[in-house]
């Protein structure tokens, strides 16, 4: 009894309620004619697609920069990496990891500038971050048109220049992780082994980093910057490192997303990736100053589970196709809920 109580306290009521709701949806699904195995496969897939984007928020939360509303910077670095990789004609694992390697310098440069900026606007990181994201997305809208890409699969057919809004990764590295060691059970269920393994590897690396000397210093900076400074830690430097890490993880996250989703989405698409990631980590139980791997995994699973199941179940009940509308309502509703639930820390 006591164990159950402490478990509930640790896990948190919001997560338990959402979890119960998710189970109800899974029970309802077969009743209204939605295939359960396909749904579960879908949820796993989406979990893998989004998990690294959610993971990207962890370093900045830990270093006290708050939720990275400027995650779009990382996504743009990832888009640059993946488009360049395609431009150079890299295919298969070579193409996928090539995209990550090519995204690295962009992440470091963008993250460094972004980090320097955030150090100047302490206490307002989240608002400023959001506008930094918006601005860069808009600048890139111009850049995607004028950059000299020439791969016929990527540029507009009629002009022969300027990148398309969506670029298929087919023939390059479509589902390269999803299909790696994938387990097929029946017609509808696929376990994306490679994807889940890659997510696990990323989580493990971040976990290791957080346990290193630098990671410890970063956490202390987030917990109490004055304490860290009095202990000889350069708080500004730690914050910049965390921003660079977050930006790079964002880049990796979007490349993983693209290989699973099948398309590179350019122009204003990065904007729509940020809020779901933030909502997921908040639902997972992270506060503005503390986040763990468990928060990332639980949060992504719950958020993407809801987002997958609610529209399909409701669609089947109502016998109409309004899944996109319902998805918008559900995802923004969850974001709203998650933002009101953000827990404060002792100051």
Partner 1 sequence: MGQTSPLLSLKNISKEFYGNVVLQNVNFDLHEGEILGLVGENGAGKTTLMSILFGMPVIAETGGFSGTIELDGQEVHFTSPFDALDAGLGMVHQEFSLIPGFTTTENIVLNRESMKPGSILNDVFGYRMSTLDRPAMRKRASAAIHKLGVKLDPDMLVSEMPVGHKQFTEIAREISRENTKILILDEPTAVLTESEALILLDSLKKLSKDGVGIIFISHRLREVTQIADRIVVLRDGVAVKDTQAAGVTVKDIASWMVGRAMSGETGPREESRAFAEEAFAVENLWVDMPGETVRDVSFSVKKGEIFGIGGLAGQGKLGIPNGIMGLYPAGGSAHLESKDIPLNNPAAALKAGMAFVSEDRRGVGLLLDESLEWNIAFTAMQIHGQYLKPVLGGLFTQRDSVAMEKLCQEYIDLLDIKCTGTKQKAKELSGGNQQKICLAKAFAMKPDVLFVSEPTRGIDVGAKRLVIDTLKKYNREYGTTIIMISSELEELRAICDRIAIVDEGKIAGILPPGANVAEFGILMAGETDSPSRTKRMAAAEEVPNA
Q: Using CB under 8 A as the criterion, which residues of the chain lie in contact with partner 1 when the complex forms?
A: 208, 211-213, 216-217, 219-220, 223-224, 226-227, 229-234, 289-290, 345-347
Q: Which is nearer to partner 1, 123 or 157 (CB)?
A: 123
Q: Which is nearer to partner 1, 58 or 103 (CB)?
A: 58
Q: Which is nearer to partner 1, 59 or 192 (CB)?
A: 59
To partner 1, the closest distance from the beta carbon of 119 in angstroms equals 17
- Partnered with residue 28 across adjacent β-strands are none
Q: Which is nearer to partner 1, 217 or 313 (CB)?
A: 217
To partner 1, the closest distance from the beta carbon of 306 in angstroms equals 30
Structure tokens at 285: 């139980």
Q: Which is nearer to partner 1, 120 or 344 (CB)?
A: 344
To partner 1, the closest distance from the beta carbon of 240 in angstroms equals 17
To partner 1, the closest distance from the beta carbon of 242 in angstroms equals 16
Whether 137 contacts 77, CB under 8 Å: no
To partner 1, the closest distance from the beta carbon of 61 in angstroms equals 13
Question: How many CB atoms neighbour CB 327 within 10 A?
Answer: 17
Structure tokens at 318: 């109502």
To partner 1, the closest distance from the beta carbon of 149 in angstroms equals 38
Angle between helix 235-261 and 213-223 (nearest 10): 110
To partner 1, the closest distance from the beta carbon of 230 in angstroms equals 5
Tell me the three-class secondary structure of the chain, residue by residue. Answer: CHHHHHHHHHHCHHHHHHHHHHHHHHHHHHHCCCCHHHHHHHHHHHHHHHHHHHHCCHHHHHCCCCCCCCCHHHHHHHHHHHHHHHHCCCCHHHHHHHHHHHHHHHHHHHHHHHHHHHHHCCCCHHHHHHHHHHHHHHHHHHHHHHCCCCCCCCECCCCCCCECCEEECCCCCCCCCCCCCCEEECCCEEECHHHHHHHHHHHHHHHHHHCCHHHHHHHHHHHCHHHHHHCCCCHHHHHHHHHHHHHHHHHHHHHHHHHHHCEEECCCCCHHHHHHHHHHHHHCCCCCCCCCHHHHHHHHHHHHHHHHHHHHHHHHHHCCCCHHHHHHHHHHHHHHHHHHCCCCCCC
Q: Which is nearer to partner 1, 87 or 219 (CB)?
A: 219
User: How far apart are the C-alpha atoms of 123 and 78, rounded to whole Å?
Assistant: 28
Q: Which is nearer to partner 1, 62 or 82 (CB)?
A: 62
Q: Which is nearer to partner 1, 340 or 346 (CB)?
A: 346
To partner 1, the closest distance from the beta carbon of 302 in angstroms equals 24
Q: Which is nearer to partner 1, 49 or 219 (CB)?
A: 219
To partner 1, the closest distance from the beta carbon of 248 in angstroms equals 18
């Amino acid at each position: 009894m006591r164990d159950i109580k402490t478990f509930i306290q640790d896990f948190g009521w919001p997560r338990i309620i959402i979890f119960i709701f998710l189970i109800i949806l899974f029970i309802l699904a077969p009743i209204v004619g939605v295939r359960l195995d396909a749904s579960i496969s879908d949820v796993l897939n989406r979990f893998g697609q989004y998990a690294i984007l959610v993971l990207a928020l962890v370093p900045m939360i830990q270093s006290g920069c708050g939720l990275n509303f400027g995650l779009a910077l990382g996504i743009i670095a990832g888009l640059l990496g993946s488009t360049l990789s395609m431009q150079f004609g890299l295919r298969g694992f070579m193409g996928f990891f090539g995209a990550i390697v090519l995204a690295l310098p962009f992440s470091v440069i963008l993250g460094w500038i972004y980090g320097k900026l955030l150090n100047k606007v302490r206490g307002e990181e989240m608002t400023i971050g959001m506008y930094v994201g918006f601005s860069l997305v808009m600048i890139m809208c111009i850049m995607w048109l004028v950059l000299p890409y020439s791969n016929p699969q990527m540029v507009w057919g009629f002009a022969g220049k300027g990148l398309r809004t969506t670029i298929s990764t087919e023939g390059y590295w479509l589902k390269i992780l999803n299909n790696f060691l994938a387990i097929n059970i029946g017609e509808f269920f696929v376990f994306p082994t490679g994807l889940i393994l890659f997510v696990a590897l990323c989580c493990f690396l971040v976990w290791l980093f957080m346990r290193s000397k630098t990671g410890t210093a970063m956490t202390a900076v987030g917990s109490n910057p004055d304490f860290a400074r009095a202990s000889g830690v350069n708080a500004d430097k730690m914050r910049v490192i965390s921003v660079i890490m977050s930006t790079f993880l964002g880049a990796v996250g979007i490349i993983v997303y693209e290989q699973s989703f099948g398309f590179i989405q350019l122009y204003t698409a990065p904007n729509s990736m940020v809020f779901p990631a933030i909502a997921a980590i908040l639902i997972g139980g992270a506060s503005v100053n503390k986040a763990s791997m468990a928060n990332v995994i639980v949060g992504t699973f719950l958020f993407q589970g809801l987002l997958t199941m609610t529209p399909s179940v409701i669609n089947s009940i109502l016998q109409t196709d309004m899944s996109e509308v319902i998805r918008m309502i559900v995802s923004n509703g969850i974001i709203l809920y998650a933002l009101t639930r953000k827990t404060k820390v002792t100051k």
